[in-house]
Chains A and B, each alone.
Chain A
Amino acid sequence: GESVGLHLPTLSVQEGDNSIINCAYSNSASDYFIWYKQESGKGPQFIIDIRSNMDKRQGQRVTVLLNKTVKHLSLQIAATQPGDSAVYFCAENTGDYKLSFGAGTTVTVRA
């Protein structure tokens, strides 16, 4: 079936460097995507979203890029901090926030 997935299950980043987390999706009709951060023992926390009529959206230290041609989106985190260590999920909104999540990328920030 159509689903959202992530390229790499883990990512190790040096503190202060930029992080890039990738996600591929297969449903070409998808029109809304969201990135979530989940820390151990906690629920997912909204980071940033993007609609299909946009290619790029920026937040505080985060940028989401959407490439509809290859059905790929990425999350860039600038100047990665220890508090950024978590599991990151991309999710596709199939309608009314019935979200389809990928498996997640575990980001570990090295001091």
Chain B
Amino acid sequence: DTGVSQNPRHKITKRGQNVTFRCDPISEHNRLYWYRQTLGQGPEFLTYFQNEAQLEKSRLLSDRFSAERPKGSFSTLEIQRTEQGDSAMYLCASSSWRGADTGELFFGEGSRLTVL
């Protein structure tokens, strides 16, 4: 499978616990994005990387959230001290940036978080 891969697909945790999601983008893609989607809503942009550099973080990304892409390949999204409001689908996407134009964004299947 050469698509965007996310793990775990589902995570149930208790409030206050830390969780980490992993995203493996399409291998030749240099840009990686994280979005969050709550039930009945469209995805919301959280942050994105070009190679290992984090270029921007949304105001939605509180201090409890941290994302990394240490080697410019896979990325992790960690949520510390989870709250019930963090329950959502966390989507990863990747694209091939070619300077003047950004290629199509390919989404993974998402990691669904339920905070009890």
A binds B: yes
- Cβ of A99 and Cβ of B43 under 8 Å apart? yes
B-side contacts of A42, CB under 8 Å = 109-110
A-side contacts of B33, CB under 8 Å = 97-98
A-side contacts of B48, CB under 8 Å = 96-98
B-side contacts of A103, CB under 8 Å = 40-42
Q: Per-residue CB proximity of B33-49 to A under 8 Å, as 1/0?
A: 10100001111110010
> Complex formed: what's the CA distance from A89 to B37 in Å?
12
Known: A44-B91, A46-B104. A98 touches B45 (CB 8 A): yes
Interface size class of A (residues with CB under 8 A): 20 to 34
- Cβ of B109 and Cβ of A43 under 8 Å apart? yes
Minimum CB distance partner of B47 in chain A: A98
> Complex formed: what's the CA distance from A8 to B33 in Å?
28
- Cβ of A104 and Cβ of B42 under 8 Å apart? yes
A-side contacts of B45, CB under 8 Å = 94, 98-100
B-side contacts of A45, CB under 8 Å = 107
> Complex formed: what's the CA distance from A99 to B105 in Å?
10
Known: A41-B109, A43-B107. 20 other contacts (CB 8 A): A34-B105, A42-B110, A43-B4, A43-B91, A44-B43, A44-B91, A46-B105, A49-B104, A89-B43, A94-B45, A96-B31, A96-B48, A96-B97, A97-B31, A97-B33, A97-B93, A98-B33, A99-B43, A99-B45, A99-B105
B residues contacting A by CB (< 8 A) are: 4, 31, 33, 35, 40-45, 48, 55-56, 91, 93, 95, 97, 102, 104-110
